[in-house]
Structure 1
């Protein structure tokens, strides 16, 4: 109880000191930063380059399946029962392979995309921190997080974007 009272008295006594400290606040429009971040295009190009081969393979496999289906539908009447069964199983096997490859492809793309987004998030946090330190800000808020922001509060969005461009 005495410790609690001592803590309360310390906090109460230091309140005027904290009130006198100059607090510098700024705002950032994070949605604008995310839309305009220069690294976004480079990330998209990197991922596209990384997965183009697998995407092309999936397209080729899909076309093979469609061709085999069309061939089966057009020629099933002239096939023996065993030929028709064999052809049908072959198509089903190709479809199964396609679905597995497609699921693995999507999973890999999502994983790599998340990894790149995390790297970008770290770069953005570092840029925000750098701008805050250079500008002497104690607090930077997202424009969309506050219901009202006075026009006199500086917007550092462009500064953050400039820092990310370096």
Structure 2
């Protein structure tokens, strides 16, 4: 419903601008732009390093868990009931810690990705804005989001933004 209202509002604004003067519409796939920005590769490398650290920690925890389970299974026959309960509780607690760590690691990586991409997205947004102003565009539509239902003839400004950012 909100998308319909947004489309109607955009259509109304376009008609209003068209009635007042020349309408110039450009489009860009912002996802394509972000993928070719050099800063993106550095951000991905940093994110991969962070993921590798977390994966190594998880591997240590998993190995500890597997060792405890193997020890429990190998020695269960000779353990008293109290020791069995204690060992089973330790294994259960470790399993719970592993699950919590996995959830926490996923959240940490998502936050880190957002933190790394935010300045890159802002730089791209500013470059798009500058190109739009420099070349007299009334509107720039983002074809990368899938939000454009109808796209009249327009200019793809990706080459201009790449030039602005010094990307080959």
What TM-score range do you get, normalising by the shorter chain?
0.7 to 0.9
1:69 Cα deviation after fit: 1.0
Query: In terms of mean alpha carbon deviation, does 108-117 or 125-134 score higher?
Result: 108-117
| Partner SS, residue 23 of structure 1 | coil
Q: Verify the 8 A CA contact 1:28 1:157 in the aligned structure 2.
A: yes
2:150 is matched with 147
1:85-115 superposed Cα distances (whole Å, 9 cap, x missing partner): 2221221222222223222222221222222
What TM-score, normalized to structure 2? 0.72
Q: Verify the 8 A CA contact 1:38 1:164 in the aligned structure 2.
A: no
| 1:1-80 superposed matches below 5 A | 19=19, 21-80=21-80
Q: Distance in 1 between matches of 2:84 and 2:20?
A: 87
1:109 is matched with 109
1:22-42 superposed Cα distances (whole Å, 9 cap, x missing partner): 333222123422443433221
What TM-score, normalized to structure 1? 0.73
RMSD: 2.8
- Larger gyration radius, structure 1 or structure 2: 1
| Partner SS, residue 156 of structure 2 | coil
1:19 Cα deviation after fit: 4.0
Q: Verify the 8 A CA contact 2:34 2:121 in the aligned structure 1.
A: no
Structure 1, gaps ≥5 residues long? 1-14
1:107-139 superposed Cα distances (whole Å, 9 cap, x missing partner): 221222222333232122111112112222222
Aligned length: 150
- Report the CA distance shift for 1:107/1:23 in structure 2 as closer, same or farther (over 3 A): same
1:136-157 superposed Cα distances (whole Å, 9 cap, x missing partner): 222212245142432xx32111
Structure 2, gaps ≥5 residues long? 1-14
